[in-house]
Amino acid sequence: MRTIWRLLSYLKPYPGWLALSNLSMLGLVLMSFAIPWLTRYVIDVAIIEGEWHLLLPLALGVVAAGILHGMMFFVRRYSSALIGQLVIFDLRNQLYRHLHELPFSFYDRSRTGELMSRVTQDVETMRRFLAFGLVNLVRSILMSVGVLTFLMFINWRLTMVVLITLPPLLFTIRAFATRVRPMYRRVQEELAGLTSVLQENIAGLRVIRSFAREEYEIEKFEAGHRGYLEQNLGAVRRWAFFFPLMNMITGMGTVLILWYGGREVIAGNMSLGWLVAFNQYLALLLGPLRMLGWLVNLTERASASATRVFELLDTESDIVERPGAIDLPRARGHVEFEDVWFEYAASGDPVLRGVSFEARPGETVAILGATGSGKSTVMNLIPRFYDPHRGRITLDGHDLRDLTIESLRRNIGMVMQETFLFSAPIAENVAYGRPGATSEEIEAAAKAAQIHELIAGLPDGYDTVVGERGVGLSGGQKQRVAIARALLLNPPILILDDSTSSVDAETEHLIQEALERVMKGRTSFIIAQRLSSVRSADQVFVLDRGRIVQRGTHETLIGVPGIYREIHQLQSADSVEISEEIFERARLKAIEGMRNIPGGRI
Amino acid sequence: MGHMHLGGALEGELKPFDSRMFFRLMGYLRPYRWWLAGSLASLFVAAVAAQAGPYLLGRAIDEFINPAGPAASLPMDARLGGLDLYALLFAASLIVTWLAEYGETYCMSWAAQNSIFDLRSALFRHLQRLGLKWFDARPAGVIMSRVINDVQTLDELLSSGLTTVFGDLVRLLVIVTIMLGMNVRLALASFITIPPLLLMVFYFRPRILQAHRQVRTRVAEINANLQESISGVRVTKSFVREEENFEEFSLRNQNNYDATVAAEFLMSIFQPGVMLIGALGTAVVLWYGGSIIMRETLDGLARGTLGPGTLAAFLVYVQRFNHPLQNLSSFYTQMQSAMASCEKIFAIMDTDPGVKDAPGSRDLPPIQGRVHFEDVDFAYEGENLVLRNADLRVEPGSRVALVGHTGAGKSTMINLLCRFYDPVRGRVTVDGHDLREVTLQSLRSQLGIVLQDTFLFSGSVRDNIAYGKLDADDGEIRRAALAVNAHAFIEELPAGYDTPVGERGGNLSVGERQLISFARALLRDPGILILDEATSSVDAYTELLIQHALDTLLEGRTSFIIAHRLSTIRNADQIVVLEDGRIVEWGTHSELIRAGGHYAELYRVQFATE
């Protein structure tokens, strides 16, 4: 209930529309009474009593009532739709802004699909409630109570008789809600299941073909498909039973009016006109009642949706800007970690345990370590995607928390592990960080990233939309676009998470060349799996379980025993030449690493 | 019967009616024609029974409740008895309507959904036979939309569209007949509401549908934008693009607002408009009907042609034109939309699968592993040869490394060996059998393929390994996993071998996925192993495990490897160097280095630093 009130509070900015909507609704309810009443008057007075001169004026009265009713209806429907839409417009914008304020830690915990369903389906349910549900709920109640009272006045005995149909009708409405609608929900679920089988079938096409598993796949699909068919037919059977049943019960009301009302007319307790009008009023009563089941359901769903949406809106960011934060124009690129400790909220284990280092302007810093050693975390702390739990990080001597987030991030170019490109023209993707860049600048960046030739060779060149019409870029190509994107910012600090997803040797070589060019003259942090890319680094840190266990340069580290030398050995030797002992150590290490992926486990 | 969904008509393209396509679609209903007949029979009963009520009501009023003329002198008992009878008949007609509508809907759905089931199954089966070439040319989303959405559109047409429209026509006919039967003049007068109703409905409904299509498109745009914004939020934050993105989103939000308000405006006019015409109908019946009664009364007719009861029945009937007419006006759009879907679906079903078993093809006997490429040319499209004069002899048990730039033809050779495509010229043989003369099933079931992009199916880890051999027992699965160093980490997963693998292996690391795919291939124990190797983002330790597993996998088999790791290449029995679709060099590592050709150059550039 509190949620519904909060949802209703969104209506506050539109008191005019709200009043208009409610007033017209009230007028509409009143006008609904007019036509049956006029009908009754025509039959009783004009026809039966022979006041023929009233025929034309009364018929014109019906037309006038129809026009008034229509106008009220228009205002009521349009205004409430408008209100719903206005509120949802505001809400969507608010949600969108909020989503961008939420920190990385929030996105670590949330799944895209789930968030999507909140901002699309839940918001849509809320809109329908505000646009149709709310006003119809009020109307249904007003109408039911109004008509019922009115009917009691006309003939309370007949009213009581007709009300016999009410319990079975309510029972059927309830059955419809509890037994038919859930079946359609299951049909939807079956369809979703079928869709994901199909999706997997298409995505795994090559595996299926190469394992000659077509028949198996057909069986798999058929099973899901048959389930869908059966669920669907089951749902239709119930629907086909209950829906016409509701019509039948409503019809029985008319039968009762004819049967008992007819007796009342014959007995002289009621006029014929009222008998006819009674039937019309009954329709006014039953219509809203039949809607009630749907409305209650909509209100419940809207309330559940609103709860989820408000929960999202109430989630606060833990990365906030300090009042009076400094706006750093262009950094020199002097980055220092001072005894930094960090843990991802979910897992209790610290991922970084007292990391300290200093990167002077223009230096290249390479960070090495097994999977799960904390490399990516170090990178994520520099643009303040997370705040350290202990210790501090400074840029040009300022604590990161004293800088405005915008100015901090504008000084940093990032190429992340999972390259994400937007489905927009490549030129726009490259210019993502600087929307105003000229095409010369974009091309220059692409050239530096070794991707210009490839782009120029595409049918639409830089205007090719990524991901459209089969223009998929490979992992390595995407990464080079991402490098160009970071480069166009011309940032004093560059962060490269070079743990590329599967690329072939040639691509890796190209990326390597691109990176080396790009790092010149900037403070660069690079995570690399391969030693070849860290040879030229000014400083090398080896991370192990959140601590820096070795530091130096390639030359110094290669000479001392330790992880660095071990990795070097592993990578330069053929696997056949590795001794049992080293292999066993590597195996344990690898398994330990696999277990340590933050957030990557269910 | 307002069970009409217009989901399909609300989005997607429209195509004019095409009788050939329509009858081809109807062909799917053939096996269920008795259900269809049952549905039609019920439909007639329902349409007639549903219109009986108002007629009975009118008769009851005029004959027994408010009798005029000679009937007025009926004794009270007879009047009450007559009233009871009519009420009973009325109730009976309602029950008949209910049952008949149940039968109509259920029979039709049975026929429609079963025939749609057949259609979708046939489509899916056909997809499993279509060559890779066909899939290469289409994004997955488009294919999905054919099998799900387009078939759904046809489902709607068959399940509800056709019967609704047919039923509505019958209903209109019955109403008109009853009205004419009761009173010709009043009937003709009340038909006056039909032209404005038609005008209204046929003017507004298509526009409303159009407006709703607009809204759907706008909503889809918002959703697409949101989806991307959420997926890319980390990039957006690191590039500080929040404001620009918000502007873009807000614009889409505004577009959606405008489209929705426009659609609502149309609806807000249409609905009361239809009601107003209904009120006009009421006014006409009251005034003209009243006038007829007046004239007949003033003329002193003892029993007129029209009584207040009939008038009351007319009041009900005159409101009943509206629903059928509305449905009819939407039907056309639905049909057009179904035609567009039909065209797309049948186009797929008419596509030749390309690679298929030749007539009289035999099963390939157990593979020894001798592979010959004999002067093979190949083009994916037209004349554009991606492989020319490829000639290669591989002895059983040898390890072949394919080396060359991206696009040199490495993958093509593998695609031909798997017979994903057929050569344009020349032939590929395994143990002397031309691949085109053996069955696809017998060939592929003896090949093991490990692809660069490791694909896992949703299901448990066990299911994924067993994909290589569906009837494998637990021991076999464990042994395979153990052999490729996967057993240890699988045991540590929350539910061991029963741990569910997320969509496309989402919750496993790259290294883990790769090892599982090795186990899958090993379990199959293939005669020829094909490997598209990739250097992946695994740390040096995991890399070592993978290398080691690879050695196990390759042992004693003929293998083709698109190689990227230096060690793999160096250990190959034969290195085949491709350039621009030609085999330019072949030999062992040391032979090729000594020769100082393409391979030596490639080696220098790419691997010198390692």
Architecture of domain A421-490: 3-Layer(aba) Sandwich (3.40)
Task: Tell me the shortest Cα–Cα distance from A539 to chain B, in angstroms.
Answer: 19
Residue B480 pLDDT:
87
Percent of chain B with pLDDT over 70: 93
What is the per-residue burial (b if ≥16 Cβ within 10 Å, else e) of B519-552? bbbbbbebbbbbbbbbbbbbbbbbbbbbbbbbbe
How far is it, in rounded angstroms, from Cα B575 to Cα B156?
58
* B541/A82 touch (CB, cutoff 8 Å), yes or no: no
Q: What is the pLDDT of residues A539-580, one digit of tens each?
A: 988 888 888 888 888 888 888 888 888 777 776 655 445 566
Region of B362 on the Ramachandran plot (φ > 0 left; ψ -120 to 50 alpha; else beta): beta
B178: pLDDT confidence band, cut at 50, 70 and 90?
very high
Q: Which residue has the higher pLDDT, A69 or A594?
A: A69
Residue A494's closest CA among A522, A466, A460, A474? A522
Chain A residues near residue B227 by CB distance under 8 angstroms: 112, 116
pLDDT at A337: 92
Arithmetic mean of pLDDT, B24-43: 92
Give the helix/strand (H/E) hosting A224: helix A214-256
pLDDT single digits (tens) B123-137: 988 888 887 777 777
Q: CA angle at residue A492 from A491 to A495, to 5 degrees?
A: 75
For residue B435, pLDDT over 90 is answered with no
Which superfamily does B371-607 belong to?
P-loop containing nucleotide triphosphate hydrolases (3.40.50.300)
Could you say which of 1.10.645.10, 1.20.1560.10, 3.40.190.10, 1.20.1440.20 is the CATH number of the domain covering B184-305?
A: 1.20.1560.10
pLDDT band at residue A487 using 50, 70 and 90 as cut-offs: confident
Chain centroid offset of residue B56 CA: 48
**Under 8 Å between Cβ of B229 and B249:** yes
Burial of B210-241, coded b for 16+ CB within 10 Å and e otherwise, reads ebbbbbbebbebbbebbbbbbbbbbbbbbbbb
In this complex, is the C-beta atom of A139 within 8 Å of any C-beta atom belonging to chain B? no
| Per-residue exposure over A549-573, b if at least 16 CB sit within 10 Å of its own CB, e if not | ebebebeebbeeebbbebbbebbee
Q: What is the mean pLDDT of chain B?
A: 84
Helix (H, G, I), strand (E, B) or coil at B128: helix
Report the Cα–Cα distance between both ends of chain A, in Å, rounded: 34
Q: Calculate mean pLDDT across residues A286-305.
A: 86
CATH architecture of A15-155+270-314: Up-down Bundle (1.20)
CB atoms within 10 A of CB A472: 11
At B549, give phi and psi (nearest 5°): -60, -40
Structure letter (DSSP) for residue B263: H
A62 touches chain B (CB under 8 A): yes
Interface test with B, best of A33, A108, A209 (most B CBs within 10 A): A209
Mean pLDDT value of segment A304-326: 86
Q: Are A15-155+270-314 and A421-490 in the same CATH fold?
A: no
Which contiguous run of DSSP H or E holds residue B387? strand B385-394
In this structure, what are the phi and psi dihedrals at residue A47, rounded to the nearest 5 degrees? -85, -60
CATH superfamily of this structure's domain A332-411+493-501+521-602: P-loop containing nucleotide triphosphate hydrolases (3.40.50.300)
Least confident of A119-128, A496-505, B277-286, B525-534: A496-505
What is residue A526's predicted lDDT score, i.e. its pLDDT? Answer: 87
Q: Do A252 and B91 touch (CB under 8 A)?
A: yes
Does residue A568 or residue B122 have the better pLDDT?
B122
Question: Where in chain A are the domains?
Answer: 15-155+270-314, 332-411+493-501+521-602, 421-490
For residue B368, which of B558, B531, B574 has the smallest C-alpha distance? B558
How far apart, in whole angstroms, are the C-alpha atoms of residue B126 and residue B444? 18
Buried-exposed string B133-169: b where 16+ CB fall within 10 A, e elsewhere: ebbeeebeeebbbbbbbbbbbbbbbbbbbbbbbbbbe
Per-residue pLDDT at A345: 66
Chain A and chain B share a number of CB contacts under 8 A equal to 469
Mean pLDDT taken over chain A: 83
Q: Is A90 near chain B, with CB under 8 Å?
A: no
HSE toward the beta carbon, residue B254, CA cutoff 13 A: 6
C-alpha–C-alpha distance, residues B379 and B356, integer Å: 18
What tens digit of pLDDT does each residue of B522-542 get? 888 888 888 887 655 566 777
Q: What is the pLDDT of residues B362-416, one digit of tens each?
A: 888 888 888 999 999 988 777 778 888 888 888 888 889 888 877 788 888 888 8
Tokens of B51: 């219109």
Distance of CA A522 to the CA centre of its chain: 38
Contacts of A6 (CB under 8 A, 6+ apart): A306, A310
Give the other-Cβ count within 10 Å of B199's Cβ.
12
In angstroms, the Cα distances linking B569 to A246, A263, B310 are 75, 101, 96
For an interface test with B, the pick among A245, A254, A581 (most B C-beta atoms closer than 10 Å) comes out as: A254
The percentage of residues in chain A with a pLDDT greater than 90, rounded to a whole number, is 12
Return the pLDDT at A575: 46
Q: Is the Cα torsion angle A263, A268, A273, A278 positive or negative in sign? A: negative
Backbone angles phi, psi at B398, to 5 degrees: -95, 155
Residue A455, both tokens:
């782009």
- Whether residues A66 and B265 touch (CB distance < 8 A) is answered with no
CB B153 within 8 A of CB A265: no
- In 3-state terms, what secondary structure has residue A413? strand
Q: Which CATH superfamily is domain B18-183 in?
A: ABC transporter type 1, transmembrane domain (1.20.1560.10)
Q: At what angle do helices A505-519 and A475-488 cross, to 10 degrees?
A: 10
User: Which two three-digit tokens encode residue B150?
Assistant: 């387009």
Is the Cβ–Cβ distance between B592 and B599 less than 8 Å?
A: yes
pLDDT mean over A263-285: 88
- The size of chain A, in residues, is 602
Residue recorded with tokens 């691509």: A507
Identify all chain B residues contacting A412, using CB atoms and an 8 Å cutoff: 238
Q: Which of A450-459, A528-537, B54-63 has the highest mean pLDDT?
A: B54-63
Which chain A residues are Cβ-neighbours of B545 within 8 angstroms? 586-587, 590
Q: Is the dihedral of CA B441, B447, B450, B452 positive or negative?
A: negative
Pairing assessment for the beta strands A390-395 and A398-399 based on DSSP bridges = antiparallel
β pairing state of A547-552 and A539-544: antiparallel
Most confident option among A54-68, B208-222, B560-574 = A54-68
pLDDT at position A68 is 93
| Least CB–CB distance from A470: residue in B121, B139, B510 | B139
Q: Write the DSSP symbol of residue A349.
A: S
Render pLDDT for B249-307 as a digit per residue (tens, 0 to 9): 889 889 989 999 999 999 899 989 988 998 999 899 989 988 888 888 888 765 667 88
Cβ A498 vs Cβ A376: under 8 Å: no
Burial of A264 (0-12, 13-18, 19+ CB in 10 A): buried
Residues of B in contact with A164 (CB under 8 A): none
Pairing of β A352-359 and β A335-342: antiparallel
A287 is written with which tokens?
């219509």
More confident of the two residues A88 and A449: A88
Kindly report each contact of residues A108-112 with a partner whose C-beta sits within 8 Å and lies 24 or more positions away, as own/partner: A108/A344, A108/A346, A108/A598, A108/A599, A109/A345, A109/A346, A109/A599, A112/B227, A112/B230, A112/B231
The backbone region for A542, taken as left when phi is positive above 0, alpha when psi lies in -120 to 50, beta otherwise, is beta
Which residue has better confidence, B10 or B53?
Answer: B53
Closest CA to B536 of B413, B456, B450, B454: B454
Contacts of A205 in chain B (CB under 8 A): 132, 135
Given B239, B503, B610, which is nearest A432 (Cβ)? B239
Round to whole Å and give the CA distance between B363 and B505.
34
Closest by alpha carbon to B278, among B331, B210, B326, B330? B326
Q: How far, in Å, CA of A408 to CA of A410, rounded?
A: 6
Q: Which residues of chain B form CATH 1.20.1560.10?
A: 18-183, 184-305
What is the per-residue pLDDT across A339-397, written as a single tens digit (0 to 9) for each? 999 887 655 678 888 899 999 998 889 888 877 778 888 888 998 888 888 899 999 98
**A34 CA to centre of own chain:** 47
H-helix or E-strand containing B127? Answer: helix B76-129
The residue to which tokens 């940032």 are assigned: A491
Angle A346-A350-A352 from CA coordinates, rounded to 5°: 125
Nearest Cα residue to A210 out of B415, B398, B458: B415
Q: Residue A471 pLDDT > 60, yes or no?
A: no
Q: Which residue, chain included where needed, has tokens 């595409």?
A: A458
How far, in Å, CA of B438 to CA of B359, rounded?
10
